[in-house]
């Protein structure tokens, strides 16, 4: 009896807390079905308004006006969406390829300097973006890649995070598999491709999700490396639309987070496993 009261209280506390966590999400989704004029009426054009904003849960008039404007009337939004994909997909694919190979070497082989090398990767991963900003900028300048997508994609591919995460997974795979395969006469590439990669599927899935999320959100890199407005990804566009065209901002935000929400619903368990992996020691 006492235990059930206690767990009901806990449940309610957790529920209220959870509501607060998803509140911004819910508001964004419901408001995306408002008409432009209702948004401007309630929230103003962006700058000063008289009195206070009137934060509303439910639109007076449910409409797809915002979505229609973004998807059909203005090319800009779709172009930016495409820009985001052009930046994020190469980074995710490239990092998955490069990082799995490096992680294989750092987890299934013994060689001198292995742990020091891993430590260097780890420390680099811990640095805020601004610390690697100057190095990245200098490298891009030397290579003549400033103001091109490559200046964001290349450092993205070689970011230390992927190596770290996949290594954490592969270190848990016993060496016996490699040894047994060697005795059977398998080459190293076959061991990597046929044995280790399939066994690391959950780790790689987690990597793909976390890297996708992180880069879909990128803000600093395009601000610094891409001067041309037409190359900017959606993350930058959105922060501008909030000020200029508030009437469309909610639908833009919903469309922008849609890929992420799909990824989350589809692969929540992989994501959670990936985060747990990042905490594995060794």
Q: Which of residues 146-185 bind other proteins (CB under 8 A)?
A: 154-155, 157-158, 160, 163
- Give the interface segment with other proteins, choosing from 23-31, 60-68, 69-77, 85-93 (CB under 8 A): 23-31
> At its nearest, how many Å lie between other proteins and the CB of residue 102?
4
Residues 186-215 within binding reach of other proteins (CB under 8 A): 188, 192, 213
Indicate the helix (H) or strand (E) that contains 135. Answer: helix 129-143
The one among 7, 37, 147, 227 contacting other proteins by CB under 8 A: 7
Residues in Cβ contact with 152 at an 8 Å cutoff, skipping those fewer than 6 apart: 87, 91, 218, 221, 222, 225, 226
The one among 130, 176, 184, 228 contacting other proteins by CB under 8 A: 130
- Give the interface segment with other proteins, choosing from 62-70, 75-83, 107-115, 199-207 (CB under 8 A): 107-115
Phi-psi region of 46 (alpha: psi -120 to 50; beta: other; left: phi over 0): left
Q: Closer to other proteins by CB, 65 or 104: give it.
A: 104
The one among 1, 5, 52, 176 contacting other proteins by CB under 8 A: 52
Both tokens assigned to 138: 């200098």
> At its nearest, how many Å lie between other proteins and the CB of residue 270?
12
- Please report whether residue 82 would count as binding other proteins according to CB under 8 A: no
Both tokens assigned to 171: 């270190």
> At its nearest, how many Å lie between other proteins and the CB of residue 167?
11
> At its nearest, how many Å lie between other proteins and the CB of residue 72?
21
The one among 207, 208, 249, 270 contacting other proteins by CB under 8 A: 249
Comparing C-alpha atoms, which of 128, 129, 264 is closest to residue 208?
A: 264
- Please report whether residue 261 would count as binding other proteins according to CB under 8 A: yes
Both tokens assigned to 226: 């891409």
Would you call 29 helix, strand, or coil by DSSP? Answer: helix
Q: What separation, in Å, do the N-terminal and C-terminal C-alpha atoms of the chain show?
A: 45
Comparing C-alpha atoms, which of 204, 203, 208, 201 is closest to residue 259?
A: 208
């Amino acid at each position: 009896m006492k235990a059930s009261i206690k767990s009901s209280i806990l449940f309610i506390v957790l529920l209220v807390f959870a509501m607060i966590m998803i509140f911004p999400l819910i508001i964004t989704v419901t408001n995306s079905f408002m008409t432009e004029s209702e948004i401007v009426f309630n929230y103003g054009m962006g700058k000063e308004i008289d009195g206070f904003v009137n934060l509303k849960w439910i639109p007076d008039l449910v409409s797809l006006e915002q979505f229609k404007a973004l998807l059909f009337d203005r090319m800009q939004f779709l172009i930016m969406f495409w820009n985001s994909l052009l930046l994020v997909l190469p980074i995710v694919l490239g990092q998955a390829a490069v990082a799995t190979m490096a992680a294989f070497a750092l987890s299934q082989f013994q060689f001198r300097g292995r742990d020091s090398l891993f430590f260097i990767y780890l420390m680099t991963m811990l640095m805020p973006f601004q610390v690697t900003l100057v190095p990245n900028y200098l490298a891009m300048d030397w290579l003549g890649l400033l103001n091109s997508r490559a200046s964001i994609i290349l450092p993205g591919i070689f970011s230390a995070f992927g190596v770290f995460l996949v290594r954490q997974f592969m270190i848990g795979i016993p060496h016996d598999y490699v040894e047994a395969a060697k005795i059977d006469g398998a080459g190293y590439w076959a061991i990597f491709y046929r044995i280790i990669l399939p066994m690391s599927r959950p780790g790689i899935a987690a990597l793909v999700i976390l890297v996708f999320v992180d880069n879909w959100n990128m803000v600093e890199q395009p601000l610094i490396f891409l001067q041309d407005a037409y190359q900017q990804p959606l993350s930058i566009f959105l922060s501008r639309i909030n000020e200029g065209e508030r009437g469309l901002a909610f639908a833009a935000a919903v469309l922008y987070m849609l890929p992420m929400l799909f990824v989350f619903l589809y692969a929540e368990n992989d994501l959670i496993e990936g985060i747990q992996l990042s905490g594995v020691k060794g």
